[in-house]
């Protein structure tokens, strides 16, 4: 199966999103290599007891893959909401 090609709504934001992912997952207590932030998925999988390996994971269930991605994506969304609320609160005080 081919790797999914991510397309961000804002051109040129891919690097910023990877940096954001690394920072959020670091705040969550995971070891993140800043040069390879996507590799944090292996640490998340290990914590969840899911046998994720580099390469073909054809026997991995959709549910298991979702648990890994959900942990990472959910953390990122919570942080984005927190940052937006903080920003909105700052604008209201002005």
Confidence band for 3, pLDDT divided at 50, 70 and 90:
low
| pTM for this model (two decimals) | 0.76
Cα 75 to its chain centre, rounded Å, is 7
How many helices (H) and strands (E) are present in the chain, helices listed first?
3, 0
Confidence band for 79, pLDDT divided at 50, 70 and 90:
very high
| pLDDT at residue 1, as a whole number | 44
Say yes or no to pLDDT of 94 above 80. no
Say yes or no to pLDDT of 71 above 50. yes
pLDDT digits (tens, 9 = 90+) for 31-61: 998 888 888 999 999 999 999 988 888 888 9
Tokens of 44: 């998340």
Contacts of 48 (CB under 8 A, 6+ apart): 64, 67, 68, 71
């Amino acid at each position: 199966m081919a790797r999914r090609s991510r397309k961000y709504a804002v051109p040129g934001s891919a690097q910023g999103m990877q940096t954001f992912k690394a920072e959020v997952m670091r705040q969550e207590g995971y070891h993140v290599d800043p040069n390879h932030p996507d590799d944090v998925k292996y640490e998340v999988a290990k914590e969840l007891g899911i046998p994720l390996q580099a390469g073909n994971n054809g026997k991995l269930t959709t549910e298991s893959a979702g648990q890994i991605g959900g942990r990472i994506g959910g953390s990122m969304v919570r942080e984005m909401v927190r940052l937006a609320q903080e920003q909105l609160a700052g604008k209201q005080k002005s």
